[in-house]
Amino acid sequence: MRKAIHQLHFEGSFHGELPELGLPEIAFAGRSNVGKSSALNTLLQRKRAARTSSTPGRTQAINLFRLGDAGVFADLPGYGFAKVPQHVKDKWKQTIESYLSTREQLRLVVVLVDARRKPTALDGQLLWALVEQSIPSLVVATKVDKLKRSQRGKQLAQIRREFQLTKGQPIAFSSVTKEGRDAVWDAIEAAAAGPTLRRV
């Protein structure tokens, strides 16, 4: 899949029904402003394939990026942004839940958390929903470039403990230094090569 980053095609921005592309799909989820779109750009080695913003809540639809005929990246709307009205929060929750429960080709959800912060209940809820639906997940701790060496181990250990992650997770990641890019790609490719999750 990594070899196909130069055959990038933006499939579009979807609020409702998604097109069936029949390709292994990898979704990127996490709190608003955590760095999902930036991580996607880092993996795709593009400056702005996915739109990033310092204003939380930028990505409100599901954006699909097709990598040749190798697979698809789905940039999901961020959750947990306090300053939006409740009906918008409800809409996001519904968009994500319906995506997770119906997307047939979904192989992996990359759950991004901010390495500097204590993991939140919403992240826990998402991970739990993935476990319940037997959807593989990969926890990635973003913005590690903003952590001092001395804080780094402690923060990563806290995330690992909180979510009872297996060794090797969370993957330390930075869209600024590109740290973790290969490790995330390895996990994505392993998942993309795996079996489909749902009977079609």
CA dihedral 60, 116, 108, 135 (to 10 degrees): -100
CA gap 30, 16 in Å, rounded: 20
Nearest to 173 by CA among 71, 41, 79: 41
Two structure tokens written together for 92: 């996001």
CB of 52 to Mg ion, least distance (A): 6
| Interaction of residue 32 with Mg ion, rule CB under 5 A | no
**How many whole angstroms separate alpha carbon 59 and alpha carbon 50?**
9
Shortest CB 75 distance to ligand GTP, Å: 7
In the complex, minimum distance from the CB of residue 25 to ligand GTP, in angstroms, rounded to a whole number: 18
Residues 151-190 vs ligand GTP: string with x where CB under 6 A? -----------------------xxx--------------
Return d(Cα 27, Cα 129) in angstroms, integer: 14
User: What string marks each residue from 17 to 56 as x (binds ligand GTP by CB under 6 A) or -?
Assistant: -------------x-xxxxxxx-------------xxx-x
> Which residue is closest to ligand GTP by CB?
78
Q: At what angle do helices 86-102 and 121-132 cross, to 10 degrees?
A: 30
What letter represents residue 120's amino acid? T
Region 65-104 residues binding ligand GTP, contact defined as CB under 6 A: 78
Query: What is the spatial distance between Cα 156 and Cα 113, in angstroms, rounded to a whole number?
Result: 10
Interface residues for Mg ion in 34-73 (CB under 5 A)? 36-37, 59
Q: Is 35 left (phi over 0), alpha (psi -120 to 50) or beta?
A: left
Q: Which of ligand GTP, Mg ion, none lies near 54, with the C-beta cut-off 5 to 8 A by kind?
A: ligand GTP
Q: Write down the least CB distance from residue 129 to Mg ion, Å.
A: 20
The residue ranges that bind ligand GTP (CB under 6 A) are 30, 32-38, 52-54, 56-59, 78, 142-143, 145-146, 174-176
The residue ranges that bind Mg ion (CB under 5 A) are 36-37, 59
